[in-house]
Structures are given as C-alpha cells and as structure tokens.
Amino acid sequence: MDLDTAANLGEALSGLAIMATLVFGLRQVIEVNRNRRYEISQTIAHSLENPLVQRGFATFGGVITKDTGLKELMDLTREQKDATNALVVLMANHAVMTYHRNLSFDIVYSFYKPYLSLIGVSMRHMMSLTEKGYIMHEQSSVTEEEGMGTFHWVIWLLDRLEEHDKPDEFKPHLHQKDWKP
C-alpha cells in the first residue's frame, strides 16, 4: 500500500469515527430529552396527587361557584382555604415554569385540561374576589395596579390551557381506541 492510499484510508476511517461519535451523541441527546420529559411528568403527577391539592380541586369543583360571594369565601373551613391556596400556588409554580420553558406545555396541558371545566370558572372568580378584598383592605400592600402576582400567573396558565386544543386528548377512551403501547 502506497502512502497516498494509506492517507485516504486514514481519512475515511477518521470520517467514520466522527460519524459514529455524532450518531452516539445524537442518541444520548434523545435519551436525555426522553428522561427529562419522564421526570417532568412524574413531578407534575406527584404534585397533583397531594391530598391538600386534591381537596383544592374538590373545593373549587363543588363548594366555590361563579356566584359565591366574599362572605361565603370567608366562611370556608381552614382546610378548604388551605386546599384552595395549595392548588393556586401549585398552578402558579407550574405556570412560571411553563412560561420559562422548564416544563413542556404539552405535558402541563395533558395534566390540567381535564380539570378546567371543573375548576376554571370558580378559580377565576375566587381569585378575583380575593384580590379585590386585599386591595380594599387598608393594611394590605396589594394595589390595584400590581394585584396579586401569583393569581396573574394562574390566570395566564388558565388562558393558555383554554385556548389550546388537542382533540386527540379529548375523551381518550373514545378517540384513542386504536392506540397501542
């Protein structure tokens, strides 16, 4: 084998080594992304399993309505108030993380969309009344201009969830009969 052929063979093998490294790197990136999505899903699922958060869903779904007044909100039990607060804080956290793209919107949508018809209207109503109450309270530092930032993140998330539509995730027991693992 002459020097020119050996050099060409060396270049070809070097190119193959680079290609193998790139393919391996791409596979690693895909695996990291898959693991990240799994971890995100697990984190959201785990946070929604919290009994206090579940009571928050029940309170927004069954106790608080669009017609509930400030007096009725004040008359909620301590546990119901804590539960609604836990759900609002959790949703605000998920909203901020989604906004900054630390959480995938598709995953957040899949977890929260089924709850929207149960909690959306009552949650918006409670946050509006509560914010107005804090604004009117003379010892509160909440102003009409700034409002309560936590509530604004939840409203942002509710808006995004309501305007997004994925028909394939609506009634999956009917629309995904052909799905196979």
pLDDT string in tens for the chain (181-residue length): 787 787 777 888 888 888 888 888 888 888 887 888 888 888 899 999 999 999 999 999 999 999 999 899 999 999 999 999 999 999 999 999 999 999 889 999 999 998 998 999 999 999 898 888 777 777 777 777 777 778 899 999 999 999 998 877 778 888 788 888 8
Task: Check whether residue 54 and residue 128 sit in a common domain.
Answer: yes
Task: Check whether residue 55 and residue 34 sit in a common domain.
Answer: no
Residue 92 has a pLDDT of: 95
Q: Kindly state whether residue 13 falls inside one of the protein's structural domains.
A: yes
Residue 58 has a pLDDT of: 95
Q: Which domain holds residue 18?
A: 1-39
Residue 89 has a pLDDT of: 94
Task: Check whether residue 32 and residue 61 sit in a common domain.
Answer: no
Task: Check whether residue 68 and residue 34 sit in a common domain.
Answer: no
How many Cβ atoms from other residues are within 10 Å of residue 4's Cβ?
Answer: 8
Task: Check whether residue 124 and residue 164 sit in a common domain.
Answer: yes
Task: Check whether residue 107 and residue 57 sit in a common domain.
Answer: yes
Domain count, the chain: 2
Give the residue from 116, 128, 114, 130 showing the smallest Cα distance to 171.
114
In eight-state DSSP terms, residue 168 is G
- Residue corresponding to tokens 């957040």: 108
Distances (CA, A) of 155 to 18, 43, 128: 49, 22, 10
